[in-house]
Structure 1
């Protein structure tokens, strides 16, 4: 199953969804409306190797909560992502079981190439 975790109010997410066949063939999950589940997050962690790879350091709350001044463990990253949707790096695109995380040009290009 192909899926995209995104934020509907994020212009960058919307642009990337547009580049990926306008989301056709994908289950779209707005993480503000429906947070990522612990099971989904754990599956992504297994594939990517860490929760840190899924953590958004650009989130406004990252600095306001003082997280930039702390040494965060994998358990901390997991807890913060599950408690606050803005900490999930986005979009997270899953195509045929392979995850592409973030909006870097090479990540988007790899997702588009996977789609064919």
Structure 2
């Protein structure tokens, strides 16, 4: 399995995806095709945390007046399944690894993975 979860309207996602040969990857635009419970479970297996997958920059946080400090893992899971902007992106998911987000360290690890 090789999947990339991204948002088409996100310049950062598009920039990152353009750096790699993704012809063998399933590309998932999360606004058009939201994350499934099974996919989230697969991500959780690799991270052991829903919070790690959660984007603390989502505009929904302010709109919903969420207090991030009070959220539990169960809350993070429900929010991730509820709205696509809560997923930190892009997420590259393989059978053995997961790469989450756009921070420099993650991108360097992705470059090493792609060789």
Cα deviation, residue 112, structure 1: 1.5
Structure 2 SS opposite 1:40 = helix
Q: Which runs of 4+ in 1 moved over 2 A?
A: none
Cα deviation, residue 96, structure 1: 4.5
Matches for 1:1-116 after TM superposition, within 5 Å? 1-21=1-21, 23-68=22-67, 71-116=70-115
Partners in 2 of 1:79 and 1:95 — Cα distance? 23
In the TM superposition, what whole-angstrom CA distance separates every residue of 1:48-98 from its partner, at most 9, and x where no partner exists?
Answer: 010000001100111221113650011100000101010011000124431
Q: Which consecutive unaligned segments of at least 5 residues does structure 2 have?
A: none
Structure 1 SS opposite 2:67 = helix
How many residue pairs align between the two structures? Answer: 115
Query: 1:51 touches 1:78 (CA, 8 Å); kept in 2?
Result: yes
1:35–1:65: structure 2 CA closer, same or farther, 3 Å change rule?
A: same
More displaced 10-residue stretch of structure 1: 96-105 or 51-60: 96-105
Give TM-score, length-normalised by structure 1.
Answer: 0.93
Structure 2 SS opposite 1:103 = coil
Q: Compute the RMSD of aligned alpha carbons.
A: 1.3
Query: 2:43 touches 2:93 (CA, 8 Å); kept in 1?
Result: no
